[in-house]
Chain A
């Protein structure tokens, strides 16, 4: 009986159960295939919320001084505190729900937040052992040096980079104008689009013409390539005529007379170095920049802007001479100029710069250690010593006298980089003590004036700050 009814019920049940099975396949598709897209969607706030529930790791300096830590508020959520505020803002970075992360907060976010990829696929079981706190990041920065460099730069726009020449460890990295990472959310509108770009870390992302600071490299190239020797002299009458209608002038139309290489570097003679540039020619100039690593990128963790080198094969004589005195289309970062000075402080070896020395789990175990590594060896120890001597006379007798320290021999080179944005950028690169270098510094002060007047005194204060700490802060 009722076979027709039953047949209809059976058909109906097939269709409806079929729909439910289709739905089940669809849910599987959403949770498996679409999972990555949905979980990683920018509008999905889950990871940010999860981050607020665990204590984000601390960022500390080389002596264990906190630069960033998390504090629990009354509601049980963690908030990020930055004891050094704007002083270390670019190194440490910010960590914002709305605007993401920057600096070390960004580069080491995975370690700081305690989230590692391997655990993602284990599902809920990881909750049994997963960290309730992130790992700590130990920087190579010395907070005292950082603060000293920040103060030394004053109200100028610019950057200071301080390296340990023996290891390449970055002791300080200041960029101004700065910002307060603790109030990034409320300040964002005013700083994100500000004309003077406070968010940009000028030390690694600012591209500037190096001006006369590049001459230390050109001097080394001239000797290495046998274009000149220590005795050969150049006649400087204040102007170098190149071709029919091009003139390279001294900054004050000053004539230096007959100068050898050391004297030319000491007084920063544009005519001599322009001539040397022409003597080197485009291919040897290109080779020199390559030899000094300007074309070799640094570790991603520093997020450095790539230096802009002129296309040497198409360079006219005028532009070639300009490049030899650090002008023209050549643009470099302050970090690169610190690394250049490091070569002459470290027996011809350029170390790979690094800013994190180790990552430590909450239980004290070291998850990752960063050891000093040689980056390149652009020149010989003898050559480095020779150029180092010349840099000493720059400070003792030449343009860099403002960098002199009472009991310590300083070596350095000033730069005054012409630029289309107004007054020249003031540069100083150097190291101290000259016989046993412990600190390398690069200073740029945007649109301030001459390097000797504006950058050298800042470098002096920074070097003094490092040396006054003695050996205790260095491993």
Chain B
């Protein structure tokens, strides 16, 4: 069996998951809605079409990416249909647009060096998007992360992270020798000369700004962590972690002391049972959902995940845990682990240092995002409003994650070719 056939086989599996899931929800409600089934069928056609086109243009990217995304997307669509049936159509539409974005980025990023040349432009776009959100952001559903232009509204942060990684990959690629060797020793720690450090300080400042303006410790940790890890990959200097970690802890402690809302977030995390019906209502409900689900879950539509506020976006993982049990939640986590593993594999097989850094950076943000949101809804980490890639309801997240996957897919082709 050739690679393309295997990929199609996996896509058939994902299609069966999607259609069976939709049918299960409909049967439990006692009526079959053919429109929904047709939409799901249409979406299945789209992912086969994307696979077909990529095969036609002789794209030899990693054949696991599309099926992994498809099956995660299928689980997400089933849960969205079960939780908010009225949003199913929109989510399916966004999934289709996402698949289109995947196809486009898989094609455009074949000429990868072109993108490295404009790194500062991507960096500026990323920073502007983040700053704009911090300053002009509108609060929808508890997150001050939306920008609204007339009828269009989106969450720029989802795209900003791609630009930031693109910029960091380009910048670190160009300056990695300097960063690694033109250092000054400060006691046991080393630091590059300030002029090379400036972009990293900008990102640290941005992270702190997000922490303060948006109460968003997770996003701050996310951007800052990404920058630090990518710097480490580029230079191999572990002392950056000490510097960066120190600065971050300093900023966090300071904001804990100065800003009450940051303190509230931390206190909820440290002891959610102090105010289970008030401040920590959401996280406590999420834990109830996971605990009630147990190993096998309550079965689709037989649980009560709607007791968790915002369950269809940030807390969708808890809903999966309740209705599909540890079997479902664990499967989703395993799919992500597989996805992250394949992303790092792309990086390891990259032919140029830019490819390695870019793929590595994208793998890092993927892993960190999953870690931050799953950790958040299970009280492993303080809660943060980020989405579960491919699964949560939300157009910006869906499209941005598909672009990310498309870039990885494009880079993977280079590796396969060599």
> Which of A6, A9, A19, A44 is most buried by chain B, counting CB atoms within 10 A of its CB?
A9
Q: Which residues of B contact A125 (CB under 8 A)?
A: 299
Nearest to A21 among chain B residues (CB) is B337
Q: Which residue from B234, B287, B323, B374 sits with its C-beta under 8 Å from A38?
A: B287
A16-B368, A20-B337 known; A4+B378 contact, CB < 8 A = no
Q: Which residues of B contact A20 (CB under 8 A)?
A: 333, 336-337, 340, 367, 370-371
Q: Which residue from B323, B329, B364, B367 sits with its C-beta under 8 Å from A31?
A: B329
Task: Give B354-381 interface residues, CB cut-off 8 Å to A.
Answer: 356-357, 360, 363-364, 367-368, 370-371, 374-375, 378, 380
Q: Which stretch from B44-52, B260-268, B289-297, B388-396 is at the chain A interface?
A: B289-297
How many whole Å from B307's CB to the nearest CB in chain A? 7
Q: Does B353 contact A (CB under 8 A)?
A: yes
Q: Does B102 contact A (CB under 8 A)?
A: no
Q: Are B302 and A124 in contact (CB under 8 A)?
A: yes
Q: Does A32 contact B (CB under 8 A)?
A: yes
Q: Are B357 and A17 in contact (CB under 8 A)?
A: no
Q: Are A24 and B334 in contact (CB under 8 A)?
A: yes
A10-B348, A16-B371, A31-B291 known; A124+B326 contact, CB < 8 A = no
Q: Does B277 contact A (CB under 8 A)?
A: yes
State A344–B352 Cα separation when bound (angstroms). Answer: 102
Q: Which residues of A contact B356 (CB under 8 A)?
A: 2, 5-6, 9
Task: Give B314-362 interface residues, CB cut-off 8 Å to A.
Answer: 321, 323, 325-326, 329-330, 333-334, 336-337, 340-341, 344, 347-348, 350, 352-353, 356-357, 360
Q: Does A246 contact B (CB under 8 A)?
A: no
How many whole Å from B368's CB to the nearest CB in chain A? 7
Q: Are A23 and B348 in contact (CB under 8 A)?
A: no
Q: Are B326 and A32 in contact (CB under 8 A)?
A: yes
A9-B348, A123-B299 known; A24+B364 contact, CB < 8 A = no
Q: Which residues of A contact B352 (CB under 8 A)?
A: 2
State A30–B326 Cα separation when bound (angstroms). Answer: 9
Nearest to B306 among chain A residues (CB) is A49
Nearest to A38 among chain B residues (CB) is B291
Q: Which residue from A19, A27, A37, A43 sits with its C-beta under 8 Å from B321?
A: A27
Interface of A is mostly: helix
Q: Does A196 contact B (CB under 8 A)?
A: no
How many whole Å from A393's CB to the nearest CB in chain B? 65
How many whole Å from B141's CB to the nearest CB in chain A? 23
Q: Are A9 and B371 in contact (CB under 8 A)?
A: no
How many whole Å from A400's CB to the nearest CB in chain B? 57
A12-B229, A17-B337, A46-B304 known; A127+B299 contact, CB < 8 A = yes
Q: Does A468 contact B (CB under 8 A)?
A: no
A20-B336, A124-B302 known; A35+B294 contact, CB < 8 A = yes
State A122–B334 Cα separation when bound (angstroms). Answer: 24
Q: Are B371 and A34 in contact (CB under 8 A)?
A: no
Q: Are A24 and B302 in contact (CB under 8 A)?
A: no
A19-B371, A31-B321, A39-B291 known; A26+B302 contact, CB < 8 A = no
Q: Across the A-B interface, how many residue pairs have beta carbons closer than 8 Å? A: 155
Nearest to B343 among chain A residues (CB) is A13
State A21–B321 Cα separation when bound (angstroms). Answer: 16
State A21–B337 Cα separation when bound (angstroms). Answer: 8
Q: Are B291 and A16 in contact (CB under 8 A)?
A: no
A19-B367, A20-B337 known; A27+B297 contact, CB < 8 A = no
How many whole Å from A1's CB to the nearest CB in chain B? 8
Q: Which residue from A27, A41, A50 sits with its C-beta under 8 Å from B329?
A: A27
Q: Does B85 contact A (CB under 8 A)?
A: no
State A38–B307 Cα separation when bound (angstroms). Answer: 14
Nearest to B337 among chain A residues (CB) is A20
How many whole Å from B42's CB to the nearest CB in chain A? 28
Q: Which residue from B297, B298, B367, B375 sits with its C-beta under 8 Å from A16?
A: B367
Q: Are A13 and B288 in contact (CB under 8 A)?
A: no
How many whole Å from B372's CB to the nearest CB in chain A? 10
Q: Does B23 contact A (CB under 8 A)?
A: no
Q: Which residues of B contact A295 (CB under 8 A)?
A: none
Q: Are B347 and A9 in contact (CB under 8 A)?
A: yes
Q: Are B290 and A27 in contact (CB under 8 A)?
A: yes
Interface residue tally for chain B (C-beta within 8 Å):
57
Interface of B is mostly: helix
Q: Are A12 and B360 in contact (CB under 8 A)?
A: yes
Give a binary string over A420-439; 1 marks a CB under 8 Å from any B CB, 0 the rest: 00000000000000000000
Q: Which residue from B234, B300, B367 sits with its C-beta under 8 Å from A5?
A: B234
State A31–B287 Cα separation when bound (angstroms). Answer: 9
A43-B276, A127-B302 known; A31+B360 contact, CB < 8 A = no
Q: Are B302 and A38 in contact (CB under 8 A)?
A: no
How many whole Å from B379's CB to the nearest CB in chain A? 8
Q: Does B232 contact A (CB under 8 A)?
A: yes
Task: Give A324-363 interface residues, CB cut-off 8 Å to B.
Answer: none
Q: Which residue from B233, B330, B350, B363 sits with its C-beta under 8 Å from A28?
A: B330
State A223–B141 Cα separation when bound (angstroms). Answer: 83
Q: Does A231 contact B (CB under 8 A)?
A: no
Q: Which residue from A2, A17, A27, A28 sits with its C-beta under 8 Å from B340?
A: A17
Q: Which residues of B contact A37 (CB under 8 A)?
A: 291
State A80–B248 Cα separation when bound (angstroms). Answer: 57
Q: Are B236 and A26 in contact (CB under 8 A)?
A: no
Q: Does B284 contact A (CB under 8 A)?
A: yes
Q: Are B371 and A44 in contact (CB under 8 A)?
A: no
A4-B236, A12-B233, A46-B304 known; A31+B295 contact, CB < 8 A = yes
Nearest to B307 among chain A residues (CB) is A45
State A88–B291 Cα separation when bound (angstroms). Answer: 38
Q: Which residues of B contact A9 (CB under 8 A)?
A: 233, 344, 347-348, 356, 360
Q: Which residues of B contact A124 (CB under 8 A)?
A: 296-300, 302, 323, 325
Nearest to B233 among chain A residues (CB) is A8
How many whole Å from B151's CB to the nearest CB in chain A? 35
Q: Are B288 and A44 in contact (CB under 8 A)?
A: yes
Nearest to B302 among chain A residues (CB) is A127
How many whole Å from A381's CB to the nearest CB in chain B? 58
Give a binary string over B22-33; 1 marks a CB under 8 Å from any A CB, 0 the rest: 000000100000
Q: Which residues of B contact A46 (CB under 8 A)?
A: 288, 292, 303-304, 307
Q: Does A98 contact B (CB under 8 A)?
A: no
Nearest to B366 among chain A residues (CB) is A16
Q: Are B295 and A8 in contact (CB under 8 A)?
A: no
Q: Which residue from B277, B295, B344, B380 sits with its C-beta under 8 Å from A32?
A: B295
Q: Are B294 and A31 in contact (CB under 8 A)?
A: yes
State A21–B276 Cα separation when bound (angstroms). Answer: 28
State A6–B356 Cα separation when bound (angstroms). Answer: 7
Give a binary string over A120-135; 1 marks a CB under 8 Å from any B CB, 0 the rest: 0011110100000000
Nearest to A15 among chain B residues (CB) is B229
How many whole Å from A17's CB to the nearest CB in chain B? 6
Q: Which residues of A contact B298 (CB under 8 A)?
A: 123-124
Q: Does A7 contact B (CB under 8 A)?
A: yes
> What are 11 contact pairs spanning A and B, CB under 8 A?
A6-B356, A9-B360, A13-B348, A20-B371, A23-B371, A31-B294, A39-B294, A41-B288, A44-B288, A122-B296, A123-B299
**Known contacts A38-B291, A43-B277, A46-B304; 10 further A-B pairs (Cβ under 8 A):** A12-B360, A16-B364, A23-B374, A23-B378, A28-B326, A31-B291, A39-B288, A43-B288, A123-B325, A124-B296
Per CB-CB distance, the 3 closest pairs between chain A and chain B, nearest first, are A38-B291, A124-B299, A123-B296
